[in-house]
Structure 1
Amino acid sequence: MSPVRNAPVAPRAGTGGPAQDGAGRGVTLILPGPISHDGTAYRIFKPYGQLASALCAHFDRVTVCTHVLTAEHPAFGGSDPLLDPRVQVEPLPSPPAGSPGVARSLAHHLRSSLAVVRRIRQWDVVYAFVPSYPGAVAYTVNRLFFHRPAAVYLANDWEEITPYTFRWGGGVRGLLFGPYRVLLTRWERWMMRSTRLGLTAGRALLDKYGGEGRPIYETAPILEMKPSDMVRREDTCLQSPVRLLYVGTLNPRKGVPVLLDALRALVDEGRQVTLDVVGDGPDRAELQERVRAMGLGDRVAFHGFVAAGPELFAFYRRADLFVLPTYSEGFPRVLYEAMGHSLPVVASAVSGIPFLLQDGRHGLLVPPGDPAALAAAMRRVMDDGALRRGLIREGFALVGPIVARDPASQFAELCRRHLGPAAEAA
């Protein structure tokens, strides 16, 4: 048994008084994770921790169930913020380190699934985050056997991201990728069409699954940024060099190589531009080597992971133009943050992005995987002051009301409406 399993869990929520509107119930968030445990306390990705903490005002008990990493694990996140001590933790086994083969991965998923099944009877309301295997397994087993009130939060389209989440190449990919993608696509569709309450990240997923007689809602985004953090500026790109900014995970789905190719094109035509890359991930070393090979070492700075909050917001405030060359998203949190800091945005026209951002009004949208189109859009923003100021103004106005929304209050209200006593027989 791992040390994490034996660690004392945090006190139950609600010990300081009754929950405001949780009807005496607890809620368990089955998160993609992982979270970290340093031997004394849990650390969690800040938006998830923020949501769990806010839910303590609405439910008697709040529990997080996800994979837990100890300090010995290579992916240990010691820089993540502490989890609110009111939130209880139900740990799942740590994922295998490195690049496990198919057999080790399947064994890990089986152990995690069995751990989830053993716990479901103790949960009042199940809030399953997908795409993730713990969330999908928890929802499925509960739906088929235990019938606890349950909601699904769909953060991204499993069908779209499978080319980037399937880890194996060669013959294994040729043999298994097709069935893998079909299975996950059908699994996601079944969950969203059978759930008593579904929430989606972004309008594209809402349009895909809404309107079929099930209560599906676009969730209020889980943001660290508050209205008081927003910064109003009239214009950017007035300095030399112009500072480009990318914030996000460094993995194939995010399209950072496309951004580097576009940057190379701008540099080749004599433009004074630099790029700050904020984030970490499995592709970091490869991207850094690519930058050296392209002769961009003096133009690109890799800053690693920066926790959401003042330190991250300082990057937005120093930047002139935000660029997101992604291949797939629900709706990325970083776009809210960029527009809330008065940055003009250039982003891929994929998934939920075009449903919120009107091309030419709130940002410039380009096809994914097209360095020439990306460079042309960045060039246009830098050269056209009237366009740039309009993007800044309209983006800021769009984000203001969204930032003010509270995802915890929204979820609690939807639980009362769809998962309360009147819905128990559904």
Structure 2
Amino acid sequence: MKLCFIAPGHSYHTVQWIKFFSQGKHDVYLIDVGHELNNSLIQLGVKCDDVTSKRKGWGALPWMVHAILEIRKKVSSLRPDLVHAFPVFPAGFLAAESLESSVPFVITGWGSEVLVAPWRSWMIRLCNRLALKRANLLTAESLPVLSSMAWLRGSPCNGVLIQFGAELDIFKPAENKESLRQQLNLPKDKFIIFSGRAAIPNSNLEVVLKSFHMFLSEFPNAILLFAYAYGNMEEKLRGLCSSLGILENVLFLGAVEYKQMAAVLSASDVCVSVPSSDSFPRIVWESMASGVPVVISDLPWRTGYIEDGVHALVVAPGDELGLFRALERLVSDTLLRTTLINNGLELVRARGDYLKEMKRMEQIYEAICRRSLSIDDILGVFQVYPSDVALR
């Protein structure tokens, strides 16, 4: 198949999705609508073009008109079998306004662009609706996001839950955690808490720091690792660490190479992922695959997947005391830690295997291109009905 993706080229999610299809039998092309291209895509040999080079200094409307005209020209020349855009805004909207009706079109929702942004901007809400009405198939990592997409669309549509998941050959439990820490120059005798979320307000990293401050008063032999691919909050977070007197217990790793991050995660004792909104955070799958118990926010995406006290510990977004108590339980309750680790490994192997999910998506692409996609229990395609119960 000749596949055209329209997505932000700097995104980790874009890289992971396209990587699978670029290494197979398909002709893969990316139209970048992000800020810069991830070097991994270049190394994979993906044919890339961008519509962002003239973005700087332009207003939103002139840039979108320019981008639509450029995408229309590129897709017309490429003549792909299928176009897949993510996230819904701006990529999905730009793609929808650029494509002829005969071109099969898939949109993936990532989370905040359908759960949060439409209620902050009427323009984004309108653009989302126009994009989603054009799609032949909606995909997302969680049912609340998928239902919200159908609600914004205003009508039922075929949808499928596809997980980004974890690469199980890369993210796996450490055979010898002490030896691994020595290789990574991490302290062997510390309780290590890992945070792998972006340094942006939605991640609630300040909440994590304040909870960690409480945790240190009870368990001073602990350190907190921050790894993040993007975001501009490090200076603010360092300032908070200084004011709390915990700077020497916090390591800011910044952007960490993919396999290195897998090693750091495996060497950790706990992972924390407590944003205000999200779809299905990839870091949760990766933590489970690494045999590391995880504390997560109580958000709609976990419905049907993660049970509190069985697969993870769940706290309310922004609840500093709740997060502290969850961390306290994980230190003191060995049986709980073992339960979460074992159940997490079982869950990720059954429902969060990156390769299995991408192979299923490949079958769905093929069915769409044959014009034979229908409700299918094997592929997991089902009719999604509008619902606003998940909106936050």
Q: TM-score when scaled to structure 1?
A: 0.75
- Aligned mates of 1:85, 1:255 — CA distance in 2: 33
Change (3 A) 1:94 1:262: farther
Aligned AA for 2:111? N
1:272 aligns with 2:215: no
**How big is the shift at 1:57?**
6.0
Cα deviation, 1:275-331, whole Å, max 9, x if unaligned, reads 00011412122112221222111111100101222x111211221111112111111
Correspondence 1:385 to 2:334: yes
Q: Deviation at 1:408? A: 3.6
Q: Specify whether residues 201 and 186 from structure 1 end up closer, same or farther in structure 2 by C-alpha distance, changes over 3 A only.
A: farther
Residue identity opposite 2:49 in structure 1: E
Alignment root-mean-square deviation, CA: 3.1
Q: Is the 8 A contact 1:151 1:197 kept in 2?
A: yes
The equivalent residue for 1:410 is 360
Aligned CA distance change for structure 1 residues 193 and 117 (closer, same or farther; 3 Å): closer
1:203 alignment counterpart: 143
Structure 1 residue 116, shift from structure 2 partner: 1.7
Structure 2 equivalent of residue 88 of structure 1: 47
8 Å Cα contact 1:121/1:146 also seen in 2: no
Q: Is the Cα contact below 8 Å between 2:6 and 2:33 reproduced in 1? A: no
CA spacing shift, 1:210–1:183, aligned 2, 3 Å:
closer
2:234 to 255, 280, 284: 284
Q: Indicate if the aligned counterparts of 2:6 and 2:31 stay in contact, CA closer than 8 A.
A: yes
Distance 1:129 1:183, change over 3 A: same
Residue identity (%): 18
**Residue aligned with 2:97, SS:** helix
What does 1:52-201 align with in structure 2 at a 5 Å threshold? 52-56=18-22, 60-67=26-33, 80-84=39-43, 86-94=45-53, 104-122=59-77, 123-124=79-80, 125-142=82-99, 145-162=100-117, 181-189=121-129, 191-192=131-132, 194-201=134-141
**Cα deviation per residue 1:357-405 (whole Å; 9 max; x = unaligned)?**
1111000111101111111111111111111111111111111132264
TM-score, L = length of structure 2: 0.81
Q: Which runs of 5+ in 2 are unaligned?
A: 179-187, 374-392
Q: Distance in 2 between matches of 1:409 and 1:270?
A: 44
Aligned partner of residue 286 in structure 1, secondary structure = helix
**Residue 84 of structure 2 aligns to which amino acid in structure 1?**
Y
1:316 aligns to what SS in structure 2? helix
> Are the structure 2 counterparts of residues 232 and 210 from structure 1 closer, same or farther at C-alpha, using a change threshold of 3 Å?
farther
- Following superposition, the deviation at residue 209 of structure 1 comes to 4.9
Looking at structure 1, the residues matched to 288 and 265 of structure 2 have their Cα atoms a distance apart, in angstroms, of 9
Q: Offset at 1:193?
A: 5.2
Q: Tell me the alpha carbon deviations over residues 235-282 of structure 1, each in whole angstroms, 9 at most, x when there is no partner.
A: 99xx75311100021001111011011111112345432100011412
User: Contact 1:331 / 1:351 at 8 angstroms: preserved in 2?
Assistant: no
1:215 is aligned, of 140, 155, 158, to: 158
Indicate which of 274, 277, 282 corresponds to 1:328.
Answer: 277
Pair 1:303-2:253 in alignment: yes
Instruction: Give, in whole Å, the separation in 2 of the partners of 1:240 and 1:299.
Output: 13
List runs of 5+ in structure 1 lacking aligned partners: 1-21, 35-44, 70-74, 164-177
CA-CA distance at 1:49 after TM superposition:
3.2
Alpha-carbon contact 2:8-2:34 (below 8 Å) kept: no
Number of equivalent positions = 358
**Conserved 8 A contact 2:275-2:297:** yes
Q: Which amino acid aligns with 1:334?
A: I
Structure number with greater CO (CA < 8 Å, separation at least 6) is 2
Distance of aligned partners of 1:415 and 1:317 in 2 relative to their CA distance in 1, 3 Å threshold: closer
Take 2:50 and 2:320, find their aligned partners in 1: how far apart are those partners? 42
Distance 2:53 2:159 in 1: 32
